[in-house]
Amino acid sequence: MAAPIEPPVPVADDAPAAWASRQGPRRHQADAAATHRAPSGRLAVAVADGVGDSEAAGFAARLVADHAVRVSALEGRPDVALLAAHELLVRTHDLVPGDAAAVVALAPGGGDPRWRLAWIGDCRALSWDGRTLRTLTADHTVAAALRAQGLHPHPRLEHVLSASVHTARPQEVGVAVVDDPGTLLLVSDGVHRSVAGPALAAAMAQGGSAASRAERVVGLAAAAGARDNATALVVTAAAGG
């Protein structure tokens, strides 16, 4: 029997950001998600995916997600937030021997009218404008690097990261600026490797609250037989305040 969808905290039906997660057949839940609104009102959200199936991977993912949203909302720079999470993992490696991939999104605020994204690894951010679902990030995997060179990688290399939070160098952190993404969808690879783009688009097109959309997406991953943890975080346009 499939494990139930696991929303980490109750959220109001009209909350602008919400997530859902499912452990799946893994021994440990190594995905994490976090949201944080700074005193200024600016909102940051993140999804992190621990490397491996261990307690350490899950703890690292939770630490990265929580630290990244707080630094991002404070500094206004999600790329700086991921590098701060990198420093945290490096400095605490004896206590937190895990690693993670992560994607962070920062809503407009503080005089900045644009959304800012940063990522490392293979968590993804997608935008839904009511008609089209568009991927805003590029995976840091060995397979993606080989494809960029015109090669045809073995499918197993899709799961091998070429960069992660623990190993990240400043030039490796992906960044993007988006004027109006509509609705943002942040997912771990347990979602985007098991659910095809058209199915994700159909799930977003059904509408509903951020919470219901996130649960719907994670439910699709479960129905598709995902063998990994699956997490989806949805941020509506109202998040910008």
CA distances from 85 to 39, 71, 80, 241 (A): 21, 9, 9, 26
CATH number of 17-235: 3.60.40.10
192 near 178, Cβ under 8 Å?
no
Q: Where are the beta strands (DSSP E) in 114-154?
A: 115-120, 124-128, 133-135
pLDDT in tens, 108-130: 998 888 999 999 999 999 999 99
What's the pLDDT score for residue 241? Answer: 55
DSSP label at residue 109: B
For the chain, the structural domain boundaries read 17-235
Check residue 199 and give its pLDDT: 95
The pTM (predicted TM-score) of the whole model is: 0.91
